[in-house]
Amino acid sequence: MPGPDQPTLRALAERRSVPSRLLAEPAPDEAHLAELLQLGEALAARARERDPQAAEAVVDKARRRFSFAPLVVAVVARLTPDHKVPECEQRMTAGCVCFALLQAARGAGYGAQWLTGWSAYDRPFLARLGLGEHEELAGFIHIGTPTDTPDERERPDAAALTRAWTPD
């Protein structure tokens, strides 16, 4: 059996999301920027639809949600009902894609953050993105060049969350 892959173990131990507000240039090209801005306006309109009394700050936050990072990737779980792989595992696979994309971005020298928010669960907005009836959004992966080092965060105590199990 090969020995531990120390660079991989270290990368996993040091993994942290770079907040989208800390992501900067390089930026998207004009076509991608136009697409992002259109998406921001669609999200702002949907926020207003959901709550016609929404404060302008709430609508503006929705409008800017996709404008911080130069690239935002929507990861979609395409669920196949009655498939031999249960739907919950199909969802988890999409989550693994999100995690792998975060790691790939970090490995390539970029920062990234996996975000959802209300728009990830709003069917009219998801339809605007082109998602079908049996599709769900696993997350928006924001990718860019870090402008600062994110703070270390408190990590859960693995020993408190795990236990050994043996069959009786």
The upper half-sphere exposure of residue 162, i.e. CA atoms within 13 Å in the direction of its Cβ, equals 5
CA distance between the termini of the chain: 30
- Ligand-binding annotation for 165, yes or no, is no
* pLDDT at residue 44 in the model: 64
pLDDT category at 1 given cuts 50, 70, 90 is very low
- Ligand-binding annotation for 164, yes or no, is no
Q: Domain residue spans in the chain?
A: 16-147
DSSP 82: T
What does the alpha-carbon distance between residue 43 and residue 125 come to, in Å, rounded to a whole number? 7
Least confidently predicted of 54-58, 91-95, 112-116: 54-58
- Ligand-binding annotation for 123, yes or no, is no
pLDDT at 146 over 80: yes
Question: What average pLDDT is seen over the chain?
Answer: 80
- Ligand-binding annotation for 114, yes or no, is yes
What does the alpha-carbon distance between residue 51 and residue 101 come to, in Å, rounded to a whole number? 33
* Fold (topology level) of 16-147: NADH Oxidase (3.40.109)
Rg (CA), the chain: 19
Two tokens, residue 164: 């050994």
Share of the chain above pLDDT 70, in %: 77
Is residue 59 within 8 A of residue 44, CB to CB? The reply is yes
